[in-house]
Structure 1
Amino acid sequence: MGLLLQVVCTGIICSMGINTGMIFAWPASTITMFQTENTTLDRPMTDTEISLLGSISSIGGLVSTLIAGFMLDRLGRKKCSIITGLSLVIFWSILAITRKVELVLLSVLFSGTGSSIFLISTVYVGEISQESVRGVMTAASVVSSGLGMLLSYLLGGSLEYDVMIYVGLSMTTSAACLLFFLKESPTFLMKIGQEKEAAEAIAFFRSLKISDQEVIDEINLIKRALNPDLEDELSPEAEKLNAKCKAKPVEKLSFWEFIKKSRSTRRAFYVSIFMVTASIFQGLIMVQIYIESLFTEALPMVPTTLFSVMFAGVIVISGSVGAYLTDVAGRRALMMYASLGTGISCLVLGSQMQSHWGPSWITGVFLYVFPVMYTVGAGTVPFVLLGELFLPEVKSIVSMVIVEWTWFLDFLSLFIFNSLLKYLGWGAVFYIFAAGSFITTVFCYFFLPETKGLTVEEIQPLFMKKKHRNQC
């Protein structure tokens, strides 16, 4: 029963991921129409405006994620998710009442504020889930985004413009209402001094009585994570986690003091930054926005709407498989071998689209192998790691910085991609994706430790140099 409650709460907060995925992929079904004289807007969009249509939501994501990173520890995970849900309702509402190009772009910019749900859900789900299912639960936000994209491709290709908007508005409003039924994270409740409420939350998520020993143990675990013992010669984790060390008075440090003293937090941060960067430069994000252009060039005889829907469906299915494999195969192996597979797929696609050395069915096959490999690896693992690598003392702000970096790269890559595509063509672009994938494989082999089934207290020492792991 406890696992079911964790699943339900994860499903509620990830319902906003579905709606965000719909909004993210919405330009894919409108880019072509918005450039023609038959546009539903007051005038056709220029090339620059088309580039902004596909990328400007990332600017909203930058701003909202920055705010959410600080508000998570002030308002809480539940209230932040509700505010995010309401911002997505506003996006669809603006689209429903205007046809002006400038206002449509403004609404897309505003829609990016809802993107902070990925930070909020990653932190929330990581804090309510037990270790045995944490990877699957955290990866649910990635799967939910893919499901939203699938719906967007499907509905955008079959519904009139106005009908699509009202369907999106109805779905987002319903999902935002469900957020009011969430139970707050026990870690946040402990951070604000509500120990009794935190114990009640743990008992709720585990289907236990508040007096059960498991609840007491989890409360004590959160206390230790929130109040690390620090001294100059040791990292916070080495001092706090080594049971043989002598007990010392708790020294409460500021965020920056903590980061300065913590070797393992800094190393985990560097690894996380690389991993989310890899998730951008392996290329699927750009492909999802310009998918109609890709299929038109690669398979001109096949309806693009059909292939777009199938493409999104593959992402959803492979995302579900990837979520399962994170707790079976492990994070490190999954990221390494999936990135290798992504690189090979991109090499095949790049050479095929440049020189047409084989039949068209090869292109069709690898256009689906590519998203499968990407989704089970770079599309899933970095976000699972984001939810489990950092102590609660710094988790919200560090996660915010990493997600901010992701949104910056999203905007930059999507803004320049239209020009890059026109200048280089799809073949050369896939070579760039392949290079990013192979570099990721090498990096994971040398620098990414395995974190499957471990608590944050067990994970942090893995990022310390060996000579510091057992110091007292």
Structure 2
Amino acid sequence: MCAMMKGKLIQYACTVVLTIPCFQAAFTFVWPSYAIPALQSDRSPLGYKISEREAGLISSCTMLSPMIVTMFAGTLADVFGRKKISVACGFIILSSWILVLTAKSASQILIARLICGLAFGCNIIVVIMYIGELCQTSTRATATVIITFLFSIGALASYSLGWVCSYETVCYFCITLSVIYIIFMFALVKESPVFLVGKGREKEALHCLAFYRGASVVTEHVLGELSYMRSQHNQNKQNHPIEENVPQYETEKLTEEKTSLPQEETSAWKLLFASTSSRRALISMVSIMVLTVYMGMVSVQVYAAQLFTKMAPNISPDLCSVILALVLVASSCVGTFTMDLFKRRSLMICSTLMSSWCMAVLGSLLRWSWASDWAVTLVVVIYCFSYQVGPNSLPFVLTSETFGPQTRGVASQVVVTSMFLSNFLLLILFGPVEDQIGLDGTFFLFSIIGFVTVIFTYFTMKETKGIPLDEIQKMYEKGFLYREK
């Protein structure tokens, strides 16, 4: 029992270290909400005011560059190793913030955020792989939740520091955090045992696996799990499907679950597009992801300070931003529990409907001013809460439950890429659209897209909670439309 508890603590500790870039990603994404006003002020750190066009590019570019790398991040991790790629991402993030701190032009900041986005796009794919391979059954779900939780904490920290600290102090904080991440990656985190087995380095794999399980290299369940990894690797080399009912090494009797080894990238892509059900499922997941992005959440986060200044001029925009971040943290925690309490379809439809209603109310508040400034803030809070509980996280959950182990990785890459592309276009178009139809009209547009998402979800989204994978695939074989039976 002591070894089991030790192993779980080690897995959680390593997961926290691995997900520090997720914290940094959220920090970086919302940084423009308070940095852009500083860069456009008379006391700009650059020595001159940046233009609206430059402000739009700086705000959105971190959503563009991840698309370049997400589609082959898994391949890089399979060639060079999870740890090396993660450390490389840490150095890239470090160098990007040094560039921001020393920037003398908007172009330098733009370049820094572009390369930072590359690191985030690569890291999120690698972290998902890493956590899936180093964690056992009893810790994997919680470890995965740590990703979204630290992302929310990152947004809170960014808004808070932006409120009370100077432009330069924020940069120094990010540089320090990057250095801490790199140090802990070298000092604590070891390579994925699955990767090492795939490279034929079984002695190293055994020591890494024993470390993550908090046990000796001669412990029976550690040796058994290593043996299973070896057999899985041999199956993949022969392009044989992985058996779903292979005996697992469960936790209560010093045995652990099998650890997934990714299929070869080429065969995974072929498998994804080979069957009608997989193609339909992929189209459905990408459609849901794109629609939920265009409900406007990322624009609210990135332009929080500017939006609150316009919507509630009598309340400190920094205070409103911090309240918003606190809501994001709380809702991410609530979302963790609601996932297990409600069916996926019901949760998605209800939360999306509430988010759409909130956007419609915001539009009416701005156009007709029928309530106080605090009412505007309250509606924004309700919107963010409902969005976090459903549309923000459910597309990823659906993707993990809809695709099998051989295609889940590449399907996730496609869905994540569609998310980054949609976020980039949304941030680029937000300013011009607001100029044309006003902020109230923009919120009405987000509301309409939300209601379209509700309709699309009602007629096409399959229920996946507690449903076996083969039954989910059979649903897609019958067509796009949802059927009860």
Letter in structure 2 aligned against 1:297: K
- Which letter does structure 1 place at the counterpart of 2:469? I
Q: 1:179 aligns with which of 169, 175, 185?
A: 185
Amino acid at match of 1:167: F
Partner residue of 2:251? Answer: none
Distance in 2 of aligned mates of 1:340 and 1:50: 32
Cα distance in 2 for partners of 1:202, 1:321 equals: 33
Give how far 1:429 is off: 1.7
1:345 alignment counterpart:
358
Matches within 5 A, 1:67-78: 67-78=72-83
2: distance between equivalents of 1:299 and 1:79?
47
Select the residue among 437, 443, 448 that pairs with 1:424: 437
Q: State the shift of 1:93 in Å.
A: 1.0
Match of 2:13 in 1: 8
**Cα offsets for 1:412-448 (capped at 9, x unmatched):** 1111111111222222222222233333334444444
- 441, 445, 464: which one aligns with 2:474: 464
In structure 2, give the amino acid aligned to 1:147: I
Q: Deviations over 1:104-151 (max 9, x none)?
A: 222122221222222222333244444565444323222222211211
The one-letter amino acid of 1:145's match is: F
Aligned position for 1:110? 115
C-alpha contact (below 8 Å) 2:351/2:391 kept by paired residues: yes
Take 2:385 and 2:331, find their aligned partners in 1: how far apart are those partners?
5
What's the % identity of the aligned pairs? 28
Q: Give the C-alpha shift of residue 404 in structure 1.
A: 2.0
In the alignment, what sits opposite 1:404?
417
Q: Report the counterpart of residue 289 of structure 1 in structure 2.
A: 302
Are 2:160 and 1:154 aligned?
Answer: yes
The Cα of 1:55 is off from its aligned counterpart by 0.7
Q: What is the rounded CA distance, in whole Å, between the counterparts of 2:357 and 2:224 in structure 1?
A: 47
Q: 1:366 aligns with which of 368, 371, 379?
A: 379
Given that residues 320 and 377 in structure 2 are in contact (C-alpha distance below 8 angstroms), is that contact kept between their aligned partners in structure 1? no
The question of whether the paired residues in 2 share the 8 Å contact of 1:41 and 1:101 is answered with: yes
Rounded to whole Å, the distance in 1 between the matches of 2:461 and 2:139 is 20
Note if 1:433 corresponds to 2:446: yes
Q: Pick which of 407-416 and 3-12 moved more.
A: 3-12
| Matches of 1:85 and 1:442, distance apart in 2 | 41
Q: What are the superposed Cα offsets for residues 211-244 of structure 1, whole Å, 9 maximum, x if unpaired? A: 22973796489569847977xxxxx79xx6599x
The match for 1:211 among 202, 211, 220 is 220
Quote how far apart the aligned CAs of 1:200 are: 5.9
Unaligned stretches of 5+ residues in structure 2: 247-262, 479-485
- 1:163 equivalenced with 2:162 (yes/no): no
- Opposite residue 27 of structure 1, the aligned amino acid is P
C-alpha separation between the residues in 2 aligned to 1:25 and 1:312?
10
Matches within 5 A, 1:233-244: none
Rounded Cα–Cα distance in structure 2 between residues aligned with 1:19 and 1:466: 37
Tell which deviates more after alignment, 59-68 or 165-174: 59-68
Q: Distance in 2 between matches of 1:329 and 1:120?
A: 30
Instruction: Note the 1:133-144 alignment, pairs <5 A.
Output: 134-144=140-150
Deviation at 1:175, TM superposition (A): 1.6
1:162-209 CA-partner distances (Å, limit 9, x unpaired): 222111111121123222322334444454455676566556545567
Residue in 2 aligned with 1:23? 28
Give 3-state SS (helix, strand or coil) of 1:74's partner: helix
Name the structure 1 match of 2:392. Answer: 379
**Is the contact between residue 389 and residue 460 of structure 1 (CA under 8 Å) also seen in structure 2?**
no
- What SS does the aligned partner of 2:19 have? helix
Matched, 1:100 2:114: no
Equivalent position SS for 2:31: helix
Change (3 A) 1:464 1:155: same
Query: Compared with structure 1, are the counterparts of its residues 367 and 64 closer, same or farther at alpha carbon in structure 2 (3 Å cutoff)?
Result: same
Separation in structure 1 between the aligned mates of residue 141 and residue 343 of structure 2, nearest angstrom: 9
Residue 30 of structure 1, CA deviation: 1.5
Structure showing greater relative contact order (alpha-carbon pairs closer than 8 Å, 6 or more residues apart): 1
Q: Measure, in 2, the Cα distance between the counterparts of 1:251 and 1:64.
A: 18
Is 1:36 the equivalent of 2:45?
A: no
CA distance in 2, matches of 1:251, 1:289: 37
Task: Give TM-score, length-normalised by structure 2.
Answer: 0.82
Aligned-partner SS, 1:56: helix
Q: Is the 8 A contact 1:135 1:327 kept in 2?
A: no
- Matches of 2:398 and 2:74 in 1, distance apart? 17
Name which of structure 1's ranges 305-314 and 174-183 shifts more when overlaid on structure 2: 174-183
Report the equivalent of 2:284: 271
- Among 88, 91, 96, the alignment partner of 1:91 is 96
Quick check: 444-453 or 147-156, which moved more?
A: 444-453
Equivalent residue number for residue 60 of structure 2: 55
Matches of 1:351 and 1:119 in 2, distance apart?
A: 40
Tell me whether 1:123 sits opposite 2:129 in the alignment: yes
Q: Secondary structure at the match of 1:464?
A: helix
Q: Check the 8 A contact 1:142/1:379 in 2, yes or no.
A: no
Distance in 1 between the 2:38 and 2:265 partners? Answer: 57
> Residues 133 and 306 (structure 1 numbering): CA distance in 2 closer, same or farther, change over 3 Å?
same
CA distance, structure 2, for counterparts of residue 324 and residue 171 of structure 1: 30
Q: TM-score, normalised by structure 1?
A: 0.84
Where in structure 1 are there 5+ consecutive unaligned residues?
231-235, 244-249
Alignment partners' CA distance in 2, 1:37 and 1:328: 52
